[in-house]
Structures are given as C-alpha cells and as structure tokens.
Chain A
Amino acid sequence: MAVEPTEVQLQVRFVTKQEQYAVSDSPYAIQSNVQSSDLNTLVNALRKETKSSFQKSVEFDFLVCGELLCTTIAEHLQEKGVSTEDTLEIEYLERFPAPTPQECLMHDDWVSAVHTHGNWILSGSYDNSIHIWNTKGQHKLAIPGHTSPVKGVSWVSHNGDQAVFASGSHDQSAMLWVWNVTRNSVDCVLTCRGHDKGVECLAVAADGTRFATGSWDNNICIWSTSLTDEDNVPAKKRSKPEQGNSREPMSTLKGHREAVSAVQWIDYNTILSSSWDHLLKLWDCELGGIKQEIAGNKAFFDADWSPLNNSMITASADRHVRLYDPRSTESIVKTTFTSHTGWVQSVRWSKTRDTLFLSAGYDGQVKLWETRSPRTPLYDLTGHEDKVLCCDWSNPSLLISGSCDNTVRIFKAKHAIESV
C-alpha cells in the first residue's frame, strides 16, 4: 500500500451477536491505525450514547474478517489482504476476562494428571499417589495405591456423600475408588487389569457408567464403573485383599500401532483416541471397530473434542496445536495454533464456550486460545517453572494445570457472560 496506513480513513460498522451490548448500525469513519483498545472506548462511548443506563464499561474483543484483532486494523487488513475502501464490518464481543491466579497446590512430585468436578480437584502424581483437593487449595487426601506414576485421573460420579473416581497408572492398571466426602476416607473398589503396559490416559463416559483407558500396549480398554462385581466373570476373578476386586475390561479396542495418548468419549457409543502413530481414531464401542480415522503427520500427545462445535484439537511435539474438523472432507486441519515454543502436552476445550480452549506445553506455559486467533493466544497463564504436563477446564470457572515443578496451579475465570 502506497498510502501511509495512518492516513487512511476507514468506514466501519459495529455489529454484535450479544444483544445486550448492541449499538446503532450506522457506519463510522475511523483512522486505520486504531487498535482494539481504541475501538473499545469507541464502542463503550456509543453504548452510553444509545442508553445512558449503561454506565459500566465493558471490555470487548473485535473480530475483523473472522479473526480476532490483535494489531492495528490497518496491519490486520493488510495481512488479510482486504481492501480498506469498503465499509468494514467489525463484530465485537465481550472479551473473555483475564483469568486470575488462585491457588498453587504443592505436591511431592510431578503432577501428571488433574481433573475437577465441582469444587473437588483430583490430581495424579509421579510419586504414585492421587490427591484430592478442594478449590480453595485445601489438601483433602493423599491416596497411595498405584505402584507407578499415575497418568490419568477422572471423577466418575458424585452422589451426595459418595464420590467415585478412576485413576490409571503406568503400573498397567486402572483403579476405581470411592471417596466418602464426610469421612474423608477412600476405598479402592476395583483394580482394572487388562493392559500389558502402562495406562497413559483415562476418560469417563458422560453417563458415568463406563470409562476407557488408553495404554502403551496400543490398546484401548473399556471398563464398567459399576461398583458391584456382578458383571465380572467369576472364574477369572483375581482378587487381591489389599486392593479389592480386580476387573477385566468390557472390551478392548485394538488398532493403534503406537501408544494411545488420549481417549475421550464423544457420545454414548463413540470414543475418540489419539496415538503416537499419528492417527486420530473414532471408535464404535459396541462393535469395537473404527468409525473414522484421521491421519496427521506428527505423533499426537493429546486430543480433545468439544460437543459445542464438534471439532477436535490435538497437541504434538512440533509446537502447534491443530484444530481438526472430522466432518470436512478435503483439508482436515482447519487451523493451526502456534505460540508455544516447544512440545505441547495437553489441550482442553472449554465446556461452555465453543471458541475457547486451553493448551499446556513443555515451555512452562498454559495458554488460553480463541479459535479465531490462530497466532496469538488470548492469555498466557504463566506461573509454572517447568514443563506443564496436564491441564483441565472441566469446571468452567477453573483453569487448572499440573506441572513438573510439583505444583497444580489454579486460575479462576470470571464468568462475565452468564447468558452463554
């Protein structure tokens, strides 16, 4: 562009999908070198004009050409290759408020798995123990039981006083635990033995009746979460007195050629798995077959699927987080998010917002991403001093990450938009 970007006048119109923040539709002429902060004040001023009742100013994010505005408008348009002549439609939405650091849960060893449900945080550690914390940062319980690092933990159900959770470990077993909240006593109900090598990941189905484990022996096993032993085959019962009953898998899904790095339930019948053999697979649990296979070109360390937008994000060693759309036919990678400087170990979708997700990498960063901003994350959640091994966003208001610096860090996300 021959003209200095500062001198260009732009015709813009502000639109929003959030009705409570709507302003008049008339176009405005603005300088092209304004940034989102300037637009923010402009929109807030407009809001005050339209209705004097809005006194509290709100932080907005601005979407220009389907991408979040991070630089000046001129640079953004230049990057997108859009003409500055036309009237530009700028969509604004309330900015996701910056998460505030809350607690730091100190562990004895690396934290390799973390999961929250309500106010309870479950964390698995490399010192073979499982810990229960509440969101205030109080350590409730340390549960030894595994003989190898715990790699996956997940709450199964909360039933008043009784909470059930599952854990998977490199000692090739998954365990089902019952935690009595009031008494603060935990009991290992079942030990699930079926994997030949360490359990790498664990996921519980939405209805809480089954859970799946992925392992280094390339298999995925599906287990029942029922606490009673009725569906176990008595002949093969192998009970160990100290660990309660043992259980065989309901079914085993074989097909990966390398370690299974993540499993997730998509619906009642479908499991998503990611593996080191560069494949994402969608399994049909009933039939035990593969529904769909998505080939990447890097080993996947984690994958997460969001029911809100029906797409998957994956983590791999090459710094990138990739967004896959399983329905699209041609280019399956929709977006590549690049901001991590190293190995990305874990990714998690927001449970409430279809455009937000969390990623954790070995560069010690946890990043909060907006899918429409592939270059720049919304927020970097710093604080960890070493590799971040896991992250969790099961509780919409808590962003939790576990790291090699033996801590679990909790960030609180203020929920500005209750309507969504």
Chain B
Amino acid sequence: MPPYKTGLLKRKLSDESKEIEDNNSKSDEDVGLIRGELDAENDSTDSEHDDDDNAASDTERDEILFHDNADSLLSDEANESLAESSDLTDSEGDDESEDAESSDDEDGDSNSDEDKPEKVKETKPTTKAESEDSGAESGTGPTLSGSSDGSKKKKERKVIKKKEFKQKPTKTKAVQKSNDSIDALANKIKETNVTIQPVQEKDEYESGDTSDEEERVNTAGAVPSWWYDEYEHVGYDVEGRRIARPPRRDRIDEFLRKCEDPEFWRTVRDPGTGQDIILSKQDLELIARIREGRVPNPEHDEYQPWVEWFSREVLATPLRAFPEHKRSFLPSREEQRHVSRIVHALKMGWMKTRKQIAEERKKNKEHKFYDLWGSSAGVGEGEGTRGVQRHVPAPRRAPPGHAESYNPPPEYLLDAKEMKEWNKLQQTPWKRKYTFLPQRHGALREVAAYERFTRERFLRCLDLYLAPRAIKMRLTISPEDLVPKLPSPRDLQPFPTTEVLKFTGHTDLVRSIDFDPSGQYVVSGSDDGTVKIWETSSGRCLRTLALGCAVSRVAWTPAAGLSLLAAAAGTRLLLLNPGAGVGAHRVAQRTDDLLADPPPARDVVMDERTAACVQWEAADAAQWARGVRVVVTHFKPLLHLSWHARGDYLAATVEDGGARGVLVHQLSRRRSQLPFRRAPGRLQCAVFHPHRPLLFVATQRVVRVYDLVKQELVRKLLAGAQWISSLALHPAGDNLLVASYDRKCMWFDLELSSKPYQTLRLHGGAVRAVAFHPRYPLFASAGDDRYIVVSHGMVYNDLLQNPLLVPLKQLRAPEPRGELCVLDVRFHPAQPWLLAAAADHSLRLYA
C-alpha cells in the first residue's frame, strides 16, 4: 500500500466517527426538512454547512466541493471531458460492479444490499486482505498514475464530480431510508464504529510492508484496455502473472458506494490495476495546486525575495572573472535599426499599431450613411448648388416697354395704317411689330385678364427648360502676352538715337553713300553728277568730283591699303582716287602707282561675250586730274556696285542686262567676267559674301546664292516679297537682310532655311535700303516712310540659338520729297552712328 493511501486511510478513520455523528444529526434534521421537499439541494448542503462548522474534515471537503463546483460551473470543458470519458466511467462502473460481485463471490457471507455501509466496512479489510493475496490483481495504480497527469486529473475531477452529484441523492435516499429504520442505522453505525478498530490496525500493519505493492505493475504497455475486455485479466505483472480484472461494479453499486462510502469522492480507480485508490489530503492539495496552475510543491515559495545579481551596482566581487563585454552596455545597433524602421513605418502610415488596426476595423464595421440631401457628391464647397455644378442663370426678359403699358402714349397705339399692316400679318404673326396689340385703358383695373398668359408662361418655361445654356468660356489672353519677350532697348545700347549732323552741299537727290573703312570720310553720289567726299566728324565737304552724269552708286573699297572708290555714273563705272586731301598720302600714292600702269595685255583675256559688254580704259589726263583712275564702260546703265571684301573684285549689276546682268570685275587684272549664262530674272543687285566665294544675286523675287568657285547655284532664298529693293549681308556672313518695295524686310538665316527667319514689317512705305553695322549688333532699314528704323540684330555664335531681332528706334527722317524720303543708309564702321541719304539732298548722321 502506497504511503498516501495509508495517510488517506488514517484521516478517513479519524474523520469518520465525526461524520457519522454528523450524519445522524443530519438525518435528524433532514427528517424535519423532508417536509419541505421542494427545498433544493443547495439548501440541504447549506444546512449541512451550518451544522458542520466545527467539523474540520467537512470544511475541507466543502472546500474541495466548492472548487469542484466552481470548476464545473466555469468550464464546460470539464463536462465535455466527462462526456468523452463516459465509457471509462462506464467501465469503471462495470468494474465496480464486478468488484462488488467479486467481493460477493469471495466473501460468501456478503450482506444484503441495504447494509451497504456495513458491508463496505466489512469488505474494506477483506479487500485489503485480498489485495495482499492477489497483489497482481490491483496494484498498477501508482505506476500508471505517473504516466499522464492530465488524464489523471480529469479522472479525479470526474470522480469528485460524481461523488458530488451522487452524494446528494444518497442523502435524500438516506432520508427516505431513515424513515424506515433509523434505529437500525444507528445500530449499524455503532457496529461500524466497533469494526473500525481492526481496519485501523490492519492499515497500520500493512503500511509498513509496501514493497510488494509497489512491484505490482501492469506490464501490458500502452495498449488500449479494451484488448483485454474479453479476458479475465487486465495485464501482466513483472513476473508474468496475470493481473486479475477487478470486479466490475455496476451503477447501483456505484450509487450505493457513493451513499455509503464517505471517501467515495476521493476514491479513484487505477485503470491499470483496477485498484481503488483513496487520495490523501496531500494528494488533493497537490491536485488543487496543479489545477490552479501553481507549482505542485507546497514548499515552493513563489515569492522569494529577489536577489538582483546583475545590477548596475558594481559588485565588489564580481560574479564573472572577465569584464563586461562591450555590447552589454552599448545599445544594440540592430535593435535600434529595427525599432527605428518600425517607428518610421508607423510615422509614414505604412504600419499600424494594433490599436489603430482595431479602430479601423471598428470604423469599417460601422455603417456608412450617405448625405443624400446634402450638396452634390464629392464637391464639399458647393453648398446649396446640389446637382447643378455651374449654375447658368436664365436669360432675362427684356423689361416691358411703353407699348406694354396699360395706358401707352398715343404714339405707341397703332393707327389705322399700322392696324392694317397688323391685320395683314395675320398669317405670320411673328413678323408683327408687337406680339400683342397695344391698347389704352382708363385705369389699371379695367385691364382684362391676358388670355394668353398661361400659354406664354408655359412657353417661356419650356424655352428655359429646353434651351441649352452654357457658360461662354472667354479666352482671357491679353494682347501683351502674345508679344514675345524682348529685351528693353535701354539694355541694348548703344544705338543711334538722334540726328547730330547734317551734310549739305548736294543739289540733287543723293542716291548712294558709303563710309571709308576707317570711318573718317563719307562718300556720296548724287543725281547732280557729283561725288562728294565729306569729313564725318564735321560734315565738311572735302572734295567734290564731278562725273558728268548722275551717280547711281558709290562704294568705297574695303581694302585698307587702297584709297579707291567706285562710282557708277550712267553706264560707266569709275574708279576714283579721292586724292591727297583725303586719307593717307602714302596710300593714295600707292593706289595711284598701282593704277597708273595697266597690266600687260596678255593678262587681260576676256571672251567675246564679256568684251562685248564691258570696256576697260585708263583715264586720260583730264580725268586723272579729277581723280578718275579707271573707267569701265558697260553696255547698259549700272544699277548696283559692291566690292568683294578683299577689294580686288567688284560686282556690278546693270539694268535690264538679262544674262549679262551681273559682271564681276577684277581690278588687278582689269578684266571682267560674266558669271551667268542664263538670265536668272530681273536683277536688282549682287553682293559678295564677306569671306567665302559666294555671290548673292537678288532678282525681283528671289535671292540666289552662287558658289563662284564651283560655278553653281547653291541656294535659292524665297523672299516672299513682290519686289526686292536691296540686300545686306551680316558681317559674319550667315545672315542676310533683304528689303523689298512692298514694305517688308526679310531676315534670312542661311543656316536655318531658305525661307525668311523673320519678316519685319516696320515701315509704312517701300523699303529702299538696309544696312548692317560692321561691329555692333545693329541693322537699319529706311525707305519711303518718314522713319528710319534701327533694330538690334544679335547673331549668336551658338548655332542652336536663333538671332535676336529687336526693333529699337524710329529715327525721324527729314521731310520726304515727293515719293522719296530716304534713299540709302549706312552705318559708321566703328561708331554706332548711322548715315542716311535723305531726299532733301542732304545726308544725315544719327548718333
């Protein structure tokens, strides 16, 4: 017998005597109570409690019961587990019944069922004895109990439950019985009291010898117990002997035992050996502790004083011999990173705390309601304009006029003629003057109801309803925005702004002007047959060269080492040396020396075609004295002259020359060339490119660019003008300005296209002359209107940047004479000054 069993027995015995007394008293009371049968079990138990205050065992039991109750009430699981293990209970029940039978069998003198307590008391020792005999039959309990705590616990609980449930009916039964034989019971109790002693002794005796009991172990292993259902044994012990199946008890036996055995509630059957084990108080405590989730050992102190071994206080004698690792006092970088990542995620809203998630979930679960009658969906601001996003008010009706008055002035009333017309338009009432007939009433109250009121109001409503109304989107672009952003003229200084000097002396129209390369002198050619040379700074005419016929064109040679100017007078091209008073003496002398002797005749080879139109001749003495050095006579009057930048070639354009319209004269060899075989059109002028062998030939509508080396047409620039008047090349050579008689100036970017880059309509009349400044980004155009327009024309070295053209200043030209106003313009080579040949026979210098 295990020690806890002995302990159990001891207590049982010590308690029993008291209990029996209690039972007696109980039964007495119950007699009284039985009248009120309706009293619930609780009441009875309560009454028990009241009575058994003194009884320690009862209080204990109550405690346990209370626990059981609490358990059973709190957790359904316990009930479920009960249901699950019902077969077990059944089997137990069977076992018990068998037990009872077996006991019956074994003890032949088993008493009647009524004397159960007695019998139990009697059988107890026998069973003990039996157990001694056949230890193999029931002795597996303790060993198996260790196998699984949970199952054991369940069983225990279940058992206790059963007890609880069963005890109550027993009580009631007992009460019923007590009616029959209280006396008999009392006797029995006395007997049992008597019989207790030997049991106690037996227990004491057996408690010492427990070694056998412990060895009664079922060696069947973890096999289902039903495997042994058909056998008489339940397994084998260590020696291989069969362990006899304990006697099965049926329900009635169980019930009886429950009624009689006060220890029934703490009796469990060991399924391995089929032995009944009465749990001791320690066991129960143990079970209670386990059930509460506490440490099973009651000695274990859960609330021991905490010894803080690892604290910040430095121990005098450290626990460890080695110094603290660095990582123990450095915050973990990894953790920090992780935390910061989480914090960042929280901050950014990528991650949510549980609380937030819960709130969201809660919010999602909430019902959402539309504000059906609120403002239109999505637009919070448009209060009061539900449905109509952009309300368009209905067009107003015209206010009523005089004719609609009830008492219109007589002129609004229709007279006979108008009335006739009114009637005539009976079929086409919309053609009438009024939609109604103006009528006169003496007072407003005499006005009859307007019979068409309803209909007209309806039509009006229909109009409003059916007429599509839309907001007219007005384009709010101010004209200033469309004008391109141009720099202010103030920032583009210097440019000529005022007239500073007037050169007077000519007696007829000045057709052409030019500066000498240094800008010290000005040459002008006039219709009065003279070429005049002026000093720029003072306007002093230094020299007048009479050429005999109207001078159409003058051009100073661009070569610095020559003092030579070309003048076109009628059909003659005259090369003049302005002479000693003008420019450098040495240069003039050298020029004279150069031109004095004509080159050898073998160099001058001209084909017949050319020779037919040009005739070179040296000047005679009289002409030499007048400054003329070389005379080139053409077949037609000259129109335009232009020097090549190096000063050796001179392109001359003759009027109506056809294919021979452009001639290129070479000065050093005194010969001419006709570059074209076919007439390109009506020629206006021909200009050399500043540094490439290109010749720009302007016909009436088109500017053609010829390569003089390859003798081919390179480009054809479509000016888009009716009649080109003149041409100016940018000093860098990539841009071209074309003036036309139809008031336009066209800027061509030769790199860009053959169409004008920009067409400048700056003039009110024909544009006769354009000029580029050789140094400043300036160009000027002038013509038959009263203004000379100076513009900024910046050409960038960057090919991606288009030229910037900004009109800067309208310079007031002198009064026009007839149709003409300004005939030629030219910029000073170095200063931002502009010289204009005005129609009033003067030259004007603007600075």
Is A280 among interface residues, defined by CB-CB distance under 8 A? no
Partner of A318, one of B518, B542, B581, B847: B847
Cα A277 to Cα B519 in complex, Å, equals: 12
Q: How far is the CB of B826 from chain A (nearest CB, A)?
A: 17
Is B830 among interface residues, defined by CB-CB distance under 8 A? yes
Residues of chain A from 247 to 270 with CB closer than 8 A to chain B in the complex: 258-259
Nearest to A149 among chain B residues (CB) is B540
Using Cβ atoms and an 8 Å threshold, which residues of chain A touch B340?
Answer: none
Asked whether, in the complex, the Cβ of B518 is within 8 Å of the Cβ of A216, the reply is yes
Cα A301 to Cα B498 in complex, Å, equals: 17
Q: Mark A287-324, 1 if CB is under 8 A from B, else 0.
A: 00000000001110100000000000000011100000
Asked whether, in the complex, the Cβ of A299 is within 8 Å of the Cβ of B520, the reply is no
Cα A259 to Cα B519 in complex, Å, equals: 10
Cα A301 to Cα B497 in complex, Å, equals: 18
Is A196 among interface residues, defined by CB-CB distance under 8 A? yes
Q: Mark A5-18, 1 if CB is under 8 A from B, else 0.
A: 00000000000000
Asked whether, in the complex, the Cβ of A170 is within 8 Å of the Cβ of B581, the reply is yes
Is A387 among interface residues, defined by CB-CB distance under 8 A? yes
Q: Mark A349-385, 1 if CB is under 8 A from B, else 0.
A: 0000000000000100000000000000000000000
How large, as a class, is the contact surface on chain A? Answer: 20 to 34
Asked whether, in the complex, the Cβ of B581 is within 8 Å of the Cβ of A172, the reply is no
Is B715 among interface residues, defined by CB-CB distance under 8 A? no
Residues of chain A from 199 to 228 with CB closer than 8 A to chain B in the complex: 216-217
Q: How far is the CB of A281 from chain B (nearest CB, A)?
A: 17
Partner of A342, one of B500, B535, B538, B542: B500
Asked whether, in the complex, the Cβ of A196 is within 8 Å of the Cβ of B584, the reply is yes
Is A343 among interface residues, defined by CB-CB distance under 8 A? yes
Query: A-B contact count, CB below 8 Å?
Result: 61
Is A92 among interface residues, defined by CB-CB distance under 8 A? no
Majority-rule SS of A interface residues: loop
Cα A126 to Cα B597 in complex, Å, equals: 34
Nearest to A389 among chain B residues (CB) is B538
Nearest to A319 among chain B residues (CB) is B498
Is B580 among interface residues, defined by CB-CB distance under 8 A? yes
Is B637 among interface residues, defined by CB-CB distance under 8 A? no
Is B47 among interface residues, defined by CB-CB distance under 8 A? no
Nearest to A196 among chain B residues (CB) is B584
Is B833 among interface residues, defined by CB-CB distance under 8 A? yes
Asked whether, in the complex, the Cβ of B585 is within 8 Å of the Cβ of A172, the reply is yes
Asked whether, in the complex, the Cβ of A343 is within 8 Å of the Cβ of B847, the reply is yes
Using Cβ atoms and an 8 Å threshold, which residues of chain B touch A171?
Answer: 580-581, 585
Nearest to B583 among chain A residues (CB) is A197
Asked whether, in the complex, the Cβ of B494 is within 8 Å of the Cβ of A362, the reply is no
Using Cβ atoms and an 8 Å threshold, which residues of chain A touch B518?
Answer: 197, 216, 259
Cα A120 to Cα B518 in complex, Å, equals: 36
Residues of chain A from 86 to 119 with CB closer than 8 A to chain B in the complex: 110, 112
Asked whether, in the complex, the Cβ of A126 is within 8 Å of the Cβ of B540, the reply is yes
Asked whether, in the complex, the Cβ of B581 is within 8 Å of the Cβ of A147, the reply is yes
Is B197 among interface residues, defined by CB-CB distance under 8 A? no
Using Cβ atoms and an 8 Å threshold, which residues of chain B touch A299?
Answer: 831
Is A279 among interface residues, defined by CB-CB distance under 8 A? no
Given A126-B540, A172-B585, do A317 and B847 touch, yes or no (CB 8 Å)? yes
Asked whether, in the complex, the Cβ of A197 is within 8 Å of the Cβ of B540, the reply is no
Asked whether, in the complex, the Cβ of B830 is within 8 Å of the Cβ of A277, the reply is yes
Given A276-B830, A276-B831, A297-B494, do A217 and B584 touch, yes or no (CB 8 Å)? yes
Q: How far is the CB of B834 from chain A (nearest CB, A)?
A: 12
Asked whether, in the complex, the Cβ of A197 is within 8 Å of the Cβ of B520, the reply is yes
Asked whether, in the complex, the Cβ of A148 is within 8 Å of the Cβ of B581, the reply is yes
Beyond A387-B538, A404-B540, 20 extra complex contacts between A and B, CB < 8 Å: A112-B538, A149-B540, A149-B542, A170-B581, A171-B585, A197-B520, A197-B583, A216-B518, A216-B520, A217-B584, A276-B830, A276-B831, A297-B494, A301-B537, A317-B831, A317-B833, A317-B847, A343-B501, A343-B847, A387-B539
**Chain A interface (Cβ < 8 Å from any Cβ of B):** 110, 112, 126, 147-149, 170-172, 196-198, 216-217, 258-259, 276-277, 297-299, 301, 317-319, 342-343, 362, 387, 389, 404
The 8 closest A-B pairs by CB, nearest first: A317-B847, A343-B500, A196-B584, A197-B584, A148-B581, A342-B500, A317-B500, A299-B831
30 contacting pairs across A/B (C-beta < 8 A)? A110-B540, A126-B540, A147-B580, A148-B580, A149-B542, A170-B581, A196-B584, A196-B586, A217-B584, A258-B519, A258-B830, A259-B518, A259-B520, A276-B519, A276-B830, A277-B830, A297-B493, A297-B494, A298-B494, A299-B831, A317-B500, A317-B833, A318-B497, A342-B501, A343-B500, A343-B501, A362-B500, A362-B501, A389-B538, A404-B540
